[in-house]
Amino acid sequence: MPRCPHVVVVGGGFAGLQAARCLRRENVRVTLVDKRNYHLFQPLLYQVATGGLSPANIAVPLRRILNKQRNCETLLAEVVDFDLDHNRLLLADGALEYDFLVVAAGASQCYFGNEKWQIHAPSLKTLEDASVIRRKIYFAFEAAERETSTDMRKSWLTFIIVGGGPTGVELAGAIAEIARETLRYDFRHINPSDTRILVVDSEPHILSMYSERLAIRAANKLQMIGVEIMNCCRVCDVQNDSVTIRDSNGQTSRILTKNILWAAGVSANPLGRNLAAAANGDVDRSGRVVVDGYLRMGSDNVFAVGDMACVKNQSGHTLPGLAPVAMQQGKFVANVICRLVSHQALPPPFEYRDPGSMATIGRAAAVAVIGHREFYGFTAWLLWLTVHLFGIVLFQNRMQVLAQWSWNYLTFSRSARLITGVEHPRIGNGTEVHDQAAH
C-alpha cells in the first residue's frame, strides 16, 4: 500500500480552511499551518473596529473547526520561506515536508510605498488592527471632550477615511452612526454629532466595483447620514495631525485631523514574493502570485489560492479579493489534489461562478448585486445580513452575532466600545495613543 500523501495548507482563512475541509474524506494527511490560532471572518472586522461586535464573535479557533476531521492536524507556526526543490516548507522554528502545498496566506494593507503613513493612518486587516482603530475612534471623542482649543477639538472630531471601497464605506457609515446615535447623550462639552467624516477616494465614484447607479445611491445615502465624499482625490501626505489631499486638478488642500483610517489598496502577503522566487514565477503589481488555470505555480504540486493568487476570469479581469473567490479556489484545489492522488484526469481549469457581492452603507442600508439584479436599501441590507450571518462558521457565533445585532439595531448601542491596550492614555500633551504599544 502506498503511503498516504501529505497536503500542507498555509493559512486558515477562507481559501485555506475550505481546501483543508474539502479534503476530509480523502486518503491524504492534511496539515494546516497558521500563525494565528483562529479563522477570522474578515467581512465583519469593521464591526469589531467600531465596537459593535467582540473579537470572539467573528474569530473561531481553527482547532475547534477542524477537531473532528481525523486526517487533519493544525499547527501554530510562522512560515518564512519555501524550499520547493526539496518539497519543504521553512518555518520560523523548524521545517515541514509536503507532497502537495497549498499557499493561502492572504493579503495585507498597502500604502503604495508610503509605509511610514501607517503609524498615523492604521488599516484594518487583523483583530489587532481592529483594536487599534476602536481605541482611536473612541479616544478621539474623549480627547475632544477635554480639549479647550476650538481648533484642536475640531481636529479630534474630524475622521478621514482613505479609500471608498466596501471597507471605507462601512467604516464611514459606522462612525456616522456612533457620532449621531451611540454617543448622543454621553458627553457634556461636545456634541458628538458635530463630527466631520470624510471619505477620500481616487475614483469618480465610491464603490467603483458597482454600477454607477448603485454607487450614486450609496453616496447619497452616506451624505444623508452626514458623511462627506471627496472623489477623484488622492492623499499625498499624512502627518500626525493632518492629511494633505490632491484633487483631479492638481490642487492640494490640507485637512487638520487626528483620525486617519486607511482603507485603500491591498497587497498580497510578502510570502507571495518568496513563493514566486522559489518557483521562478511572477507576481503582479499587488504582489500576487501569477498562477495557471489550475492555480499552480510552475511545479505540479504547489498551489496558490485566495487573496495571494492572481487569477484572471474569462474576460481577462483579475478576480477580486473576496471570500467567495477564495472559497471556490480552496475547493477547486482540493479537488485537483484528490484527482492527482488517485491518478484521475484533471477537471477543467478554474472558473469563478460569481454568487454576487454586497456592501453595507450604514443602518439598514446596503448595496448588492446578484447575477444581473441590483438591490439597494433595506432589501439589500437584509440580504447582506443573511449572507453574513450564514457565512459565520459556527452555530454559536451566529447566534451571538444575531443577538448582538438585534440589540444594537434596537438600541443604537455598541457595547464593545472599550479603549484597551494602553495603560495611560494621555490627552493634549503630544503623546499619541497609537505611538504606544498597540492593541
Residues designated catalytic: 170
Q: Please report whether residue 6 would count as binding a second copy according to CB under 8 A.
A: no
Which of 165, 265, 170, 261 has the alpha carbon at shortest distance from 215?
165
The Cα–Cα gap between 365 and 218 comes to 8
Q: Please report whether residue 352 would count as binding a second copy according to CB under 8 A.
A: no
Q: At its nearest, how many Å lie between a second copy and the CB of residue 404?
A: 8
Classify residue 424 as exposed, middle or buried by CB count within 10 Å of its CB (0-12, 13-18, 19+): exposed
- In the list 127, 230, 276, 302, the residue contacting a second copy (rule: CB under 8 A) is 127
Q: Please report whether residue 298 would count as binding a second copy according to CB under 8 A.
A: no
Q: Please report whether residue 67 would count as binding a second copy according to CB under 8 A.
A: yes
**How many chain residues interact with a second copy (CB under 8 A)?**
65
Instruction: Name, in order, each residue with C-beta under 8 angstroms of 169's C-beta and a sequence gap of 6 or more.
Output: 199, 206, 207, 218, 222, 359, 360, 361
- In the list 128, 194, 228, 435, the residue contacting a second copy (rule: CB under 8 A) is 128
Which of 149, 140, 155, 224 has the alpha carbon at shortest distance from 187?
140
Quick one: 73 or 432, whose CB is closer to a second copy? 73
Q: Please report whether residue 2 would count as binding a second copy according to CB under 8 A.
A: no
Determine the interface stretch with a second copy among 71-79, 220-228, 247-255, 367-375 (rule: CB under 8 A).
71-79
DSSP state of 123: B
Grid cell in block for residue 42:
474578515
- In the list 242, 389, 413, 432, the residue contacting a second copy (rule: CB under 8 A) is 413
The Cα–Cα gap between 233 and 213 comes to 20
- In the list 37, 242, 286, 313, the residue contacting a second copy (rule: CB under 8 A) is 37
Q: Please report whether residue 149 would count as binding a second copy according to CB under 8 A.
A: no
Q: Are 393 and 65 in contact (CB under 8 A)?
A: yes
Q: Please report whether residue 423 would count as binding a second copy according to CB under 8 A.
A: yes
Determine the interface stretch with a second copy among 219-227, 288-296, 350-358, 394-402 (rule: CB under 8 A).
394-402
Which of 68, 94, 108, 107 has the alpha carbon at shortest distance from 8?
94
Grid cell in block for residue 71:
486526517
Quick one: 120 or 414, whose CB is closer to a second copy? 414
Quick one: 313 or 415, whose CB is closer to a second copy? 415
| C-alpha dihedral sign at 356, 357, 361, 362 | positive
Task: Output the CA–CA distances (angstroms, integers) from residue 413 to 139, 177, 186, in the order listed.
Answer: 17, 10, 12
Residues that bind a second copy (CB under 8 A): 35-38, 51, 54-57, 59-61, 63-64, 67-68, 73-78, 92-94, 127-128, 138-139, 142, 145-146, 183, 185-189, 394, 396-397, 399-400, 403-404, 407, 411, 413, 415-421, 423-429, 437-439
